[in-house]
């Protein structure tokens, strides 16, 4: 009888673990198509150019970013606010349009990745390119591809606005 009870507890434990694994897999690999409702917006300037940006501040917002969206208008973007400066790594998981990624530290542009393309359809996660910032970056701005060149954004440009 004690053996039957142990087996029942074991079976329940396995079911709980399987459910937790399914939820974790959905969260990490399947949530991006529905995880990005519009976020609060602010206006920032980069080298004198104004952008209306969504502010990504929570772990879920930082992880989801612009994944699954169909595009950004001119002068729009998403600003990622990290709690501390370090090397920030970005990928283009579930992206449908190209980006310029602007790395920011101490209120200044410290680098960028220009014309980053969306991945080909059905690209496996382990095949996605990783775009890494310089050290000590605590803010990252994503804008439509071509923005850096069009607006003449350069390393050293001042970035100002809420959250900077």
Prediction pTM value: 0.79
How far apart are the two ends of the chain, measured CA to CA in Å? 64
Instruction: Tell me: do 106 and 133 sit in the same domain.
Output: yes
Instruction: Tell me: do 60 and 90 sit in the same domain.
Output: yes
Residue 78 lies in domain: 41-160
Q: Which residues pair with 100 in a beta bridge?
A: 143
Instruction: Tell me: do 56 and 115 sit in the same domain.
Output: yes
Task: From residue 108, give the alpha-carbon distance in Å to each of 85, 98, 155.
Answer: 13, 23, 8
Instruction: Tell me: do 70 and 146 sit in the same domain.
Output: yes
pLDDT of residue 17: 62
Structural domain total, the chain: 2
Instruction: Tell me: do 70 and 149 sit in the same domain.
Output: yes
Instruction: Tell me: do 17 and 76 sit in the same domain.
Output: no
Helix (H) or strand (E) holding 60: helix 59-64
Along the 164 residues of the chain, how does pLDDT read in single tens digits? 566 676 666 657 576 765 555 555 545 554 444 567 889 999 999 999 999 999 999 999 999 999 999 999 999 999 999 999 999 999 999 999 999 999 999 999 999 999 999 999 999 999 999 999 999 999 999 999 999 999 999 999 999 999 99
152 in helix, strand or coil?
coil
Asked if residue 149 lies in contact with residue 42, where contact means CB atoms within 8 angstroms, the answer is: no
């Amino acid at each position: 009888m004690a053996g039957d009870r142990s087996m029942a507890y074991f079976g329940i434990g396995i079911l709980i673990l399987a459910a937790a694994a399914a939820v974790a897999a959905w969260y990490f690999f399947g949530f991006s198509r529905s995880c990005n409702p519009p976020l609060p917006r602010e206006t920032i300037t980069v080298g004198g150019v104004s952008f209306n940006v969504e502010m990504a501040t929570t772990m879920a917002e930082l992880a989801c970013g612009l994944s699954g969206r169909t595009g950004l208008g001119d002068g729009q973007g998403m600003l990622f606010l990290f709690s501390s400066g370090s090397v920030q790594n970005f990928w283009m998981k579930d992206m449908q349009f190209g980006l310029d990624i602007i790395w920011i530290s101490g209120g200044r542009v410290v680098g960028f990745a220009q014309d980053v393309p969306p991945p080909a359809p059905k690209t496996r996660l382990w095949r996605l390119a990783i775009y890494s910032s310089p050290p000590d970056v605590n803010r990252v701005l994503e804008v439509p591809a071509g923005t850096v060149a069009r607006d003449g954004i350069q390393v050293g440009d001042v970035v100002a606005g809420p959250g900077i």
